A = this chain, B = another copy of it.
Amino acid sequence: MQFSSALLENAVNEFSKLPGIGRKTALRLVLHLLKQEEEDVQHFSEVVSRMRNEIKFCQRCHNVADADICSICANSMRKQDVICVVENIRDVIALESTQQFSGTYHVLGGVISPLDGVGPSQLNIDTLIHRVQKEEIREVIFALSPTIQGDTTIYYIQKKLNPGVRITTIARGIAFGGELEYADEMTLARSLQNRLPIESYVSNK
């Protein structure tokens, strides 16, 4: 692509560094911004730069936060003795969007994956074990991806947790709206194994 303006070219280069944004899409986004009011683009630019400079990570659960402790940990209405262990911030947002969970979170920052060079020491596992020991936690819910790496991580952590704590994982099964015939064997087998009494199914509806 040939640009007659270096300012335009630099902006397109910056946008095309973003994941999933090619040069054509980057150009479209930049030309869109070019058509907006100067203040709006100024605001866009400031919000992005403030976000990166001022955002913090919760000292307790490693979620994104505007202060030292995130708004979920700081909320006394939530069950502080239940921890849901997730891989990343996106999972927190997904679970919060269900509005079904009223405990706290713990963001691991990934799962144990020796092939990718990710061992337990790179993840926020020590702080989780410390939390469970110190805070009289009643239940630890694992909400990790149903992969070998996820299962390994669950296995590794649960061996280190106090024996008194209740440890659960989110249910695996056929997704809502999913078709039985297209489900893989592993999922189908697990969903058969962990079948539910019909009453609990009807009451959840």
Q: Chain B residues with Cβ under 8 A from A1's Cβ?
A: 93, 97
Cβ B30 vs Cβ A51 within 8 A: yes
Question: In the complex, are the beta carbons of B5 and A18 less than 8 A apart?
Answer: no
Q: Give the chain B neighbours of A46 by CB distance below 8 A.
A: 45, 49
Q: Is A29 an interface residue (CB 8 A)?
A: yes
Q: Which residues of B contact A30 (CB under 8 A)?
A: 48, 51
Q: Which residues of B contact A48 (CB under 8 A)?
A: 11, 14, 30, 33, 41, 44-45, 48
Q: Which residue of chain B has its CB nearest to the CB of A53? A: B38
CA distance A18 to B21 in the complex (A): 12
Per the bound structure, the CA–CA distance linking A50 and B34 in Å amounts to: 11
Residue A153 lies at the interface, judged by CB distance under 8 Å to chain B: no
Contact A7 to B97, CB < 8 A, known contacts A28-B20, A33-B48, A36-B52: no
Q: Is the CB of B4 within 8 A of A18?
A: no
What copy number does this chain have within its complex? 2
B54 touches A32 (CB 8 A): no
Binds B, one of A66-74, A124-132, A184-192: A66-74
CB < 8 Å neighbour of A51 from B2, B10, B63, B97: B10
Given contacts A1-B97, A2-B93, A19-B32, contact A52 B38 (CB under 8 A): yes
Known A-B contacts A27-B90, A46-B45; A51 and B11 likewise in contact (beta carbons under 8 Å)? yes
Please state if A31 and B66 are interface contacts (CB–CB under 8 Å). Answer: no
- Kindly state the separation between the CA atoms of A18 and B31 in the bound complex, as whole angstroms: 10
Return 20 A-B CB contacts under 8 Å, by A number: A1-B97, A2-B97, A3-B96, A4-B58, A4-B65, A5-B64, A5-B71, A7-B64, A8-B51, A11-B48, A11-B51, A14-B48, A18-B33, A31-B90, A38-B53, A41-B53, A42-B49, A44-B49, A45-B46, A45-B48
A-to-B contact residues, CB < 8 Å: 1-8, 10-11, 13-14, 17-21, 25, 27-34, 36, 38, 41-55, 58, 63-66, 70-72, 88-90, 92-93, 96-97, 99
